[in-house]
Amino acid sequence: MPELYPPIAPYLEGSLQVSDLHTIHYEESGNPQGKPIVLLHGGPGGGCLPIYRQYFNPEKWRLVMFDQRGCGRSTPHAELRENTTWDLVNDIEKLRQHLNIEKWVVFGGSWGSTLSLAYSQTHPSRCTGLILRGIFMLRQKELRWFYQEGASYIFPDAWSEYVKPIPIEERDDMLTAYYQRLTSADAQIRLECARAWSIWEGSTSKLFPDLELMQKFGNHQFATAFARIECHYFINKGFFETEDQLLLNVDRIRHIPAVIVQGRYDVVCPMISAWELHCAWPEAEFIVIGDAGHSMMEPGICSALIAATDKFADL
């Protein structure tokens, strides 16, 4: 692993009620007088981890992290009501205003890259930079690749466990089959499917499979929110108006300094999406890591992200 910054604790933690139903947990770490940056975690439903703080120079950055609706320490846990892309975009703005931040850099990977694009295209005047990793634009071809057919050709062993809870006659539409079970009234069915769904992603996230990561993804509390919220977003096509909405709206953010970091062998969010975003947005710096998959913890991706945050701290 490249040289991460030393572990630090937040200097501030709080909760913000963003609707009658939802309250989000947030934290700030680093330098209270530093350059503001907000980290948008993956999933949707993944929550934040303490190690994320170590990608940012604590002397230069005022780092804001929060758990999106329904996951991590936000409440209610695994809740699907009032949980859409645009609810989250609004939450980011409410949090920015709550913390009296005028503008900030936006950092997001995987689903966090989706949300970063949606937020910055909605509020471009509030973004001073974008650091994106593992590009995902929630299009049908991306969902079909990972959840229906494509990634299964590379990880057939992990795929056999992913399909196990679904009867053969329903496997021609895995998203719908999973959604029906993840929203079932039967808690046992929900948990079995949540673990299978989550472990599939944990099994495929790194170039070299990581048993510890798979165990984390199989944790009951984590898997329940992760699988339910992901499947909810995916079955609803990300709540976007059009399939290519994030690509079509690149003009809104073309002027914002940006870097795109992508693992060449990313199976979860295949490189075609990063490439298509790069072609639509050549002004953004495009960095391909030749020996990496999806995870921000992989050495090449980790190094590129730290180099990016160091560079953006001094912009």
pLDDT digits (tens, 9 = 90+) for 30-86: 999 999 999 999 999 999 999 999 999 999 999 999 999 999 999 999 999 999 999
Mean pLDDT, residues 177-190: 97
- pLDDT tier for residue 211 given thresholds of 50, 70 and 90: confident
Side chain identity, residue 236: N
Percent residues over pLDDT 70 in the chain: 99
Q: Yes or no: say if 194 and 224 are a contact pair by the CB < 8 Å rule.
A: yes
Dihedral (C-alpha) 293, 296, 300, 306: value to the nearest 10 degrees?
Answer: 160
Q: How far apart are CA 212 and CA 75, in angstroms?
A: 27
Is 71 exposed, middle or buried, given 0-12, 13-18 or 19+ CB atoms closer than 10 A? Answer: buried
Q: Yes or no: say if 48 and 65 are a contact pair by the CB < 8 Å rule.
A: yes
Q: How far apart are CA 263 and CA 284, in angstroms?
A: 16
pLDDT at 214: 87
Mean residue pLDDT of the chain comes to: 97
Nearest to 63 by CA among 108, 105, 97, 98: 105
Which residues belong to the active site? 110, 266, 294
CATH number of 12-139+239-313: 3.40.50.1820
pLDDT at position 149 over 70: yes
pLDDT at 213: 87
Q: How far apart are CA 115 and CA 108, in angstroms?
A: 7
Mean pLDDT, residues 197-204: 96
Mean pLDDT, residues 273-277: 98
pLDDT at 1: 54
pLDDT at 35: 98
Enumerate the CATH 3.40.50.1820 domain ranges in the chain, comma separated: 12-139+239-313
- pLDDT tier for residue 283 given thresholds of 50, 70 and 90: very high
Question: In the structure encoding, which two tokens stand for residue 34, read together?
Answer: 């530093």
Considering the entire predicted model, what is its pTM?
A: 0.97
pLDDT at position 3 over 90: no
Q: Interhelix angle for 187-204 vs 174-182, to 10°?
A: 130
Interior CA angle at 82 toward 80 and 88, to 5°? 100
pLDDT at 311: 98
